[in-house]
Structure formats: C-alpha cells, structure tokens
Amino acid sequence: MKRRTRRIIIIAVVAALAIAAILYFAVFKNRQDKLIVYNWYDYIDESVIEQFEEETGIKVNYVNFTTVEEMYTQMTAGNNSYDIVVPSDYIVERLIKEDKLAALDYEKLPNAKANILDTMWAYSYDNGNKYSVPYMWGTMGILYNTEKVNGEITSWSSLFDPQYKNGVFMLDSIRDMMGVMLKYQGYSLNDFSDEALSKVSDLLIEQKNNGIVAGYMVDEVKDKMIAGEGAMAVMWSGDAMYAIMENDKLAYVVPEEGSNVWVDAMCVPKDSKHYDWALKFIDFMCRPDIAKKNYEYIYYASPIKQVVAELPAEEAENVAVNPNEEILAKCETFTDMMDKMEQLNKYWMKIRN
Amino acid sequence: MKRSFFSGPYALWMVLFTIFPLIFVAFYALTDKNGAFTFANLAQGFENDYMKVLWRSIRLALECTAICLLLGYPCAYILAGKDFSRHKSLFVLILLPMWMNFLLRTYATMTLLEDTGVINSLLEKLGMQPKKLIGTRGAVLFGMVYNYLPFMVLPIHTSVKKMDERVIEAAQDLGANPVRVFFRVKLPLSVPGIISGISMVFMPSVTTFAISRLLGSGMIHMLGDTIENQFMTLNNWQFGSALSLVMMALILLSMGLLNRIDINKSERTNNW
C-alpha cells in the first residue's frame, strides 16, 4: 500500500514537472519569437507598434523604463536580452565604449539614411550615427510665465535677477543644472575643472541665499508652472512643450549663451538575437508617416526631415519643438561622465545644504 | 504538530524581506565598487556636508515628535475618557486620513500652501498680504505632523483606555485631587503608550523624503533625499547603503535609549 502511494506521488511529480516544462518552453519559445523593444515610459504612439506588427508580421514585446540609469543597469547587469534600446546620448557613448552595441548596416535602413536631419549626424556621442539612430531630441532652457516677467527672457542671467525673488524653479538634477550654468559662464558643458565648478557653484549658492530660488524639483515643476506658480523654471524642451500646451501664458527659450542639446537614440545591443528585425523596426520609426504619429503623441522635437517640414506654422516657430540652427550651434551634448558624478555631487551638496 | 511549524512562514518572510536586504545593505556599505572591503563609505558619511543634513533631519524629526506629543496626548486622553468613549466616530476621524495614501494627502497639502494655492487665494480675497508658505521649513514640519499625528494618538489612546479604573479610584479615595491623580497615577501609567508613540513618529520622520521634497520644494534637503539621490541619480549604491546604515544605527540608538526609560514598566505596550 505504502509503496503504491509513493509510486503515485512520483508519477504525479513527474507529470507536474513535464507539464511545467512544456508550459515553460511554450512561453519561452513565444518570447524568443518576439522583437523586444526597451524604450522610455510613455514615449511612443502605441498604435505604431500594432501597425508594425501588421505590416511585417513581426511580433513586438514592448517594455519600458523611467530612468536611463535603470535601462543601463537592466541591459548590462541582468541577463535580459533586448533587441532595441533607446538610451540618451551619453549612455549611447558609454555603451559604445563598452562595446555593447552592434554597428548598424545602413543598407537596411533606407528611411533612416534619407530622412534623418543633416544636423543630426555629427554629434560627438556617436559621430556618423554608426551605432544609433536618433529617435527624439530636444534642448534645455527656461520656461517662463509671460505675465510674470518683464519683457522677453533671453539669457541664463535672468535666473539670478533679484526682481524674481522666490520665483525661479531650478532643476533638481546635478548634471543638467551644473552643465547649463557652465555654459552661462562661458565654459564648455563638459568642463569639470575645479575652477569652473567652484565658480558656478558659488553663483548658485548666492542665488539660493538671495532667496531667488523657489525650489529644486524635477517632475512637479511642470504642474506648478501650468498653475501659474513662479516666474520661470529651468526645464527640458519636451516638458516645456507640454506645459505650453496646457497654459498659453507660458513660453520657452534656449538662452543665448547656449545650452544642452540631447538626443534619445535607437540602438541594437550586440547580444540581440534579431538584428534584421531590429533594423526593420528602427527604419519603420524613421518613416515620415510613423515619425509624425510619434511626434504628435510625444511632442518632442523630431529628427525626421519631413516631420519638421510639415510642422504647422505655430509649432514651427516654437523653439521647444523646432530649435533654430543659430541656437543649436551654441548647444552641446553631454559626454559620458559616470566617473565624475561624485565630484559634481560634492559641489551640489554645498549648494543644497 | 510542533508549534514552531506555524512560525515557519513568518520566519521565512523575515529572512527573505528583512535579513537578506539588511545583509545586502551592510555588504554594499562595506565594499567599494569592485567589491573589496572598505570603511571609506562609512567614513564619507561622517563628512561635514552629510553631518549637516543628518543634524537637520534629526532636528526636524525631534520637533515633529514633540509637536505630535503635545497635540496627540490631550487628544488621545480626552477621546479615551468617559465623555467620549461612546462616540467611536470621533476616534475614527483621527484614523480617517490614514485610509488615504500619504502621497495623495501631501499633494493635497501642497495645493493648500502654494503661492496661488487655497490659503493664499483666501488671504488675498480678504485683502491680506499673501504669505510664502510652500518651500519653507514650517511647511515641511506641518506636513510631517499632519501625516504622523495618528501614530502618536493611537498607542496613547490604547494605554489610557487600558488603565485599571480601580487604581484611579484608589488614588481618589485616598484623597488625591484630580491634578495629583493625573500626574501621579494616570501619566506614569500611560508612559508605555507615549514611548511607543514617540518611536512610531520619530522613525518615519527622520527618514522622510517625499514630504520634504513636495512641501519643501526641495529647499529643505533631508537625509532621506540624500540617500535617494545616491541610489537614483548617482548610482552609488555603496555610499547610499552606508548612509542608510548610519541612519539605522541612529534609530537603534534612540530606541535603545527610549527602552531604558521603559525598562521598569511591567506592562509593555510599546513595540520595542
């Protein structure tokens, strides 16, 4: 009797294992057959993915991240394999340095080759776009409330103007904030000499002590500016565009001293198992009708010529989605500075304390 | 069946979600980026800049705890008294805010305090000068007290409620006036509740970061903000863990001190 029970248990366990294995491989196989796209959260018109699946028959597994650092950790530390990732410029640079990206074959990217803006090919993070194709891009600047400032804002110096006491929102992001202030003082965005950094941080400490700063924030600033709090805020162009659409008293400017220009670009990791599919997807994103759909959903500046050419007049004049070349000439991208963040943080702690 | 069998799931839970994470934190705090043993992270935690943040956090937490005690004790005492013991609804009102997510409540507080917010619009309508409320130390303190007050009221309420009526009657029979009864009998008997309340308020206060960011507009930089920053933007898990360890040591120390006050109490309702 006892032996029989044991036999039944063994059979049951083996059966359960077999079923589990079948299920596992079914799911696993299913996963293998999909193109895994790893993009920022809320950064695509999802109907575009469906359209891609319909037109090509390739199934897409679309996954998201909210910070590019999270993406970097997932991609390099985890044993996840992604077919397309969409990091920011300086992370692209780091990934190239670490030999994690596959070189792109532009023979298979006719749309990207023909449609990407001429100005988008020579940024230092990936000169010639050998490993990455721009997806969306933008600048950093000042979003201001036209009813609360005197005249037009044109310079970073307005952030230090005593008449805007308790009216200036600064960005709680070390790299970006220090970067644009370096630009304001005539240094390069990536100049991390102690001389430059201490000069800039002295300015920021004085600004805080003078009571001009209303807060150091990231996500909440948009809503505050829309609600009419504060006179101006340091902001990314994409967020600024969103705020302007919600409140037409707001305007965005890239200050004349120059600023940061950033690019989020599509890349194929070296360990992708679907190189050809990935290129198909990237090229699909560069098709004018698709890029336009994405632009109209995200409202970040598009790198696709046709989208820019067909902008409605009002948007074409808005530097938040269509920076002119004069401004761009003064802007720089960030270089990868992972090993310099500690040094930056020392200055930042002094400012915030 | 052995009794220990039933504690199995609980032990497993503790190991998975308390012991393991603690080991990870300690491991990160005591290693450098290559995994070699070092005290450098901990030493960095004692640098001037971080000590300033730590001191600011402790001071705010102490102030918050003191205010909660001053507001909470009378409230709990009155609610536990005879006049109100039948009115459960009043007690529920104290608990009610806790049914809502604290972030939501803090966002709501933010819209109250903003320059164009409810309070300042009202002031303006009344012809008064608007006041800067958001982004100040007072706003952060207000938010903390608002959020943590129930944690003070609850344990005190319990300990006052549990008091043996006969002891109080005995004091009265022996001729003590109400003031004397309160200070010599009721107050000492409610000490366990007070201690429990203090630790329940002090701990979340000292580690708070969302409240200081939303109501302080990032102007009041707290230890919680600093730690979050190390993990989220600087990607320095080692130093972030070291700061967390310093903070945990601090909390343990203060809890230890509190427990010493409590040590000769036979009836212990506090959680430590």
Judgement on whether residues A52 and A118 belong to the same structural domain of the protein: yes
- pLDDT, residue B272, reads 42
Answer whether residue A340 is part of any domain. yes
For the segment B88-99, the average pLDDT, to the nearest whole number, is: 81
What is the reported pLDDT for B2? 61
| A15-30 residue pLDDT tens | 667 766 666 665 555 5
pLDDT score of A69: 79
CA gap B106, A213 in Å, rounded: 21
Residue B102 forms part of a structural domain: yes
**Both A179 and A287 in a single domain?**
no
Question: Does A89 lie in the same domain as A68?
Answer: yes
Give the pLDDT score at B271: 45
Q: Which has more confidence, A228 or B232? A: A228
Q: Let me know if A28 is exposed, middle or buried by CB neighbors in 10 A (0-12, 13-18, 19+).
A: exposed
The nearest alpha carbon in chain A to B107 belongs to: A220
Q: What are phi and psi of A303, to 5 degrees?
A: -85, 5
Query: If you measure CA to CA, which chain B residue comes closest to A342?
Result: B234
Give me the number of domains chain B comprises.
1
**Same-domain status, A211 and A296:** no
State the amino acid at position A314 in one-letter form: E
User: Across the interface, do B218 and A217 touch by the CB < 8 Å criterion?
Assistant: yes
Task: Tell me whether residue B24 is in a domain.
Answer: no
**Same domain, yes or no, for A192 and A91?**
no
Closest partner CB to A220 (pick from B53, B132, B214): B214
Residue A165: what pLDDT? 92
Cβ contacts (< 8 Å) between B108 and chain A: which residues? none
According to the model, what pLDDT value does residue B264 have? Answer: 52
Residue B9 lies in a domain: no
Looking at the domain assignment, is residue A20 inside a domain?
Answer: no
User: Closest approach of chain B CAs to the CA of A108, in angstroms?
Assistant: 37
- Domain assignment of residue A210, given as a range: 138-260+332-352
B-chain residue closest to A347, CA distance:
B49
Reduced to 3 states, what is the DSSP secondary structure of residue A345? helix
**Cα gap B67→B46, rounded to integer Å:** 29
Structure tokens at A180: 């644009």
Q: Does A224 touch chain B (CB under 8 A)?
A: yes
Q: Which residue has the higher pLDDT, B125 or A22?
A: B125
Tens-digit pLDDT profile for residues A227-252: 999 999 999 998 899 899 999 999 99
Residue B89 lies in a domain: yes
- What is the full per-residue pLDDT of chain A (353 aa) written as tens digits? 456 666 666 666 666 677 666 666 655 555 558 999 999 988 999 999 999 999 999 999 999 988 887 888 888 876 678 999 999 999 999 999 999 999 999 999 999 999 999 989 999 999 999 999 999 999 999 999 999 999 889 999 999 999 999 999 999 888 889 999 999 999 999 998 999 999 999 999 999 999 999 999 888 899 999 999 999 999 999 889 989 999 999 999 999 999 999 999 999 999 998 999 999 999 999 999 999 999 999 889 999 999 999 999 888 888 888 888 888 888 999 998 877 888 888 899 899 88
Do residue B234 and residue A215 have CB atoms under 8 angstroms apart?
no
Q: Is residue A11 part of a domain?
A: no
Do A177 and A204 sit in the same domain of this protein? Answer: yes
Contact list, A345 vs chain B (CB under 8 Å): 229, 234
Nearest CB partner across the interface for B233, out of A73, A173, A220:
A173
Residue A308 lies in a domain: yes
B236 vs A contacts (CB less than 8 Å): 341-342
What average pLDDT score do residues B242-271 get?
72
Given CB atoms, is A127 within the 8 Å cutoff of chain B? no
Say whether A216 and B234 touch across the interface (CB within 8 A). Answer: no
Q: For residues B65 and A12, which has the higher predicted lDDT (pLDDT)?
A: B65
pLDDT at residue B269, as a whole number: 47
Does any domain span residue B94?
yes
A58 shares its domain with A170: no
Query: If you average pLDDT over residues B154-180, what whole number do you get?
Result: 89
Contacts of B134 in chain A (CB under 8 A): 215
Residue A209 lies in a domain: yes
Looking at the fold, whether A248 and A336 belong to one and the same domain comes out as yes
- Chain A residue numbers touching B116 (CB-CB < 8 A): 227-229
Do A174 and B219 count as a contact with CB atoms less than 8 A apart? no
Same domain, A234 and A336: yes
DSSP class of residue A102 equals: P
Phi, psi of B29 (to 5 degrees): -65, -30
Residue A110 belongs to a domain with what CATH number?
A: 3.40.190.10
Is the Cβ pair B236, A342 closer than 8 Å?
Answer: yes
Q: Are A86 and A62 in contact (CB under 8 A)?
A: no
Looking at the fold, whether A287 and A194 belong to one and the same domain comes out as: no
In a domain, A4, yes or no: no
pLDDT at A203: 95
Residues A133 and A149 in one domain: no
Residue B125 lies in a domain: yes
Calculate the average pLDDT of chain B: 86
DSSP states of chain B: --THHHHHHHHHHHIIIIIHHHHHHHHHHTB-TTS-B-SHHHHHHTSHHHHHHHHHHHHHHHHHHHHHHHHHHHHHHHHHSTTTTT-HHHHHHHHGGGGS-HHHHHHHHHHHHSTTSHHHHHHHHTTPPP---TTSHHHHHHHHHHHHHHHHHHHHHHHHHTS-HHHHHHHHHTT--HHHHIIIIIHHHTHHHHHHHHHHHHHHHHH--HHHHHHSTT-S--HHHHHHHHHHTS--HHHHHHHHHHHHHHHHHHHHHHHHHHTT-SS--S--
Residue B90 pLDDT level (bands cut at 50, 70, 90) = confident
A192 in a structural domain: yes
pLDDT at B265: 53
Cα A242 from Cα A14, distance rounded (Å): 57
- Count of domains observed in chain A: 2
In a domain? residue B25: no
* Domain presence at residue B131: yes
**A345 is a domain residue:** yes
Residue B128's domain spans which residues?
46-262
Q: Count other Cβ atoms within 10 Å, centred on residue A296.
A: 12
Same structural domain, A108 and A242: no
Cβ atoms of A83 and A117 within 8 Å: the answer is no
